[in-house]
Structure formats: C-alpha cells, structure tokens
A and B are shown apart, each in its own frame.
Chain A
C-alpha cells in the first residue's frame, strides 16, 4: 500500500513551453503533498507544499509564477513549469503525506530536460 505515482518519468521540452508533472496517491488520500527539486548529486530542495483545496505554500526563492502547483483533489497534485528554460532542467520529486508520523511516500521522480 501507500503508492505514489508520478508522471511522466522523463520529459524533454523546448525553451518557452510549459510542462505539467502529475503526482497521484493511488491508495490513500493525501491532503498535503510536497514538491522537491534535486540537482545532480545534490540533496532534495523543497520547492512548495501543496494543500488540497487551497493555495500552495512556496519556499523562499521559488518563483510562484514559474512553478504553478494545483492540488484539486485528495489524490492529485500537479506541478507546471511555465515558460521553461534550460536552467529549469532538473529532477523533480513529489511526496504525499499519509496519516501518522513518517508517513511520507515519494514518487519516482521526473527528469525534465529543457532544450
């Protein structure tokens, strides 16, 4: 149980276009989901906390208009990278919080390449 599905696993897009990444909790409801960015051989950097039915909470330095987050249901959060540029190329990971301490399940990540 407690599976989080993240799609796509890899995406290549052209500069200036937008790309949407989906994060779904398959067998539990997640009122809170988190979006991370990970650079090569680096740690996970929290970008934002996604709350179902309300606006996301962004970490300092993360552009809200660049990284749009929508959490419209208890099982789905999406991250849209708008007007993507090569510097947005990275590995993006979502996680969903289950009930109880330590109840975090991670998606398998999305490798975004902007060309």
Chain B
C-alpha cells in the first residue's frame, strides 16, 4: 500500500518570504504521479502543482516549485514570495499509474503573516 507522510502539521511564514513544505511517500511502484493540493478556508480543493515520476526535471508553477527526490521518495513544495492568499491547508497526494485514486497526506496548515 502507498503511504504519504507530511511531518509538519503547521507552519508559519511572513509575507514575501519563502517556505518549504515537506512530503515523503512510500511505494514499490515505478510509475506514479505526485501532487500538491491547496485547501483554503472555503474548503475547495485546488491543484497547485503536479510531478510525473518519470520526469527528472522539477515542476514549477509561477511562485510554486517542487524538489522531487525520487531515490529518497521525497516531494517538497517551495512557495516563494508568500502571499496572504497562500494561507491554507496543503496536502501532498500520490497516484500510481495503474490506479486512479489519490492518496493524501495528513496536510500542513500554512499561515502567512504580515
């Protein structure tokens, strides 16, 4: 079974600063996909970024980037120039190439402060 671990229940960052959220996973699969989802207070799940395991290049989306370390089974999210609107729960998620379902981590609550 696949597991996703987020070891930081809560984090805080000042506006305009950079923060990194950690995620590790465990799988015996070789073909899989990793995601970071954001859940703001509205509770709407929003895709932040995704990474295909077969790609060595780290994914980036504007202020969001990942550090994908396949051998270490690590998938951290870096948020640059943090904004107040980044305040939310962040979930790391995993999906194998064969199954369709997402497995979520326990989440990290990020608070961006002035």
A residues near B (Cβ < 8 Å) are: 32, 34, 38, 41-44, 46, 49, 91, 93, 95, 97, 101-102, 104, 106, 108-109
Measured in the bound complex, the distance between the Cα atoms of B105 and A57 in whole Å is 21
Partner of B44, one of A44, A102, A106: A106
Contacts of A42 in B (CB 8 A): 106-107
Known A-B contacts A101-B50, A101-B52; the reply to A34 vs B45 at CB < 8 A is no
Produce 1/0 per residue, B92-105, CB < 8 A to A.
Answer: 00010000111111
B residues near A (Cβ < 8 Å) are: 33, 35, 42-45, 47, 50, 52, 91, 95, 100-107, 109
**Contact in complex: B91, A44 (CB < 8 Å):** yes
Partner of A102, one of B33, B91, B103, B107: B33
Measured in the bound complex, the distance between the Cα atoms of B53 and A51 in whole Å is 26
Known A-B contacts A42-B107, A43-B107; the reply to A104 vs B47 at CB < 8 A is yes
Instruction: Closest B residue to A106 by CB, please name it.
Output: B45
Contacts of A44 in B (CB 8 A): 45, 91, 104
Instruction: Closest A residue to B51 by CB, please name it.
Output: A102
Instruction: Closest B residue to A45 by CB, please name it.
Output: B104
Instruction: Closest A residue to B50 by CB, please name it.
Output: A102
Measured in the bound complex, the distance between the Cα atoms of B50 and A93 in whole Å is 20
**Contact in complex: B102, A46 (CB < 8 Å):** yes
A-B contact pairs, 23 of them (CB 8 A): A34-B100, A34-B102, A38-B43, A43-B104, A44-B45, A44-B91, A44-B104, A46-B101, A49-B101, A93-B43, A93-B45, A95-B102, A97-B100, A101-B33, A101-B50, A101-B95, A102-B33, A102-B50, A104-B102, A106-B45, A108-B42, A108-B43, A109-B44
**Contact in complex: A43, B45 (CB < 8 Å):** no
Instruction: Closest B residue to A32 by CB, please name it.
Output: B100
Instruction: Closest B residue to A101 by CB, please name it.
Output: B33
Partner of B35, one of A34, A38, A46, A102: A102
Instruction: Closest A residue to B6 by CB, please name it.
Output: A43
Distance to closest chain B CB from A41 (angstroms): 8
Contacts of A108 in B (CB 8 A): 42-44
Distance to closest chain A CB from B72 (angstroms): 22
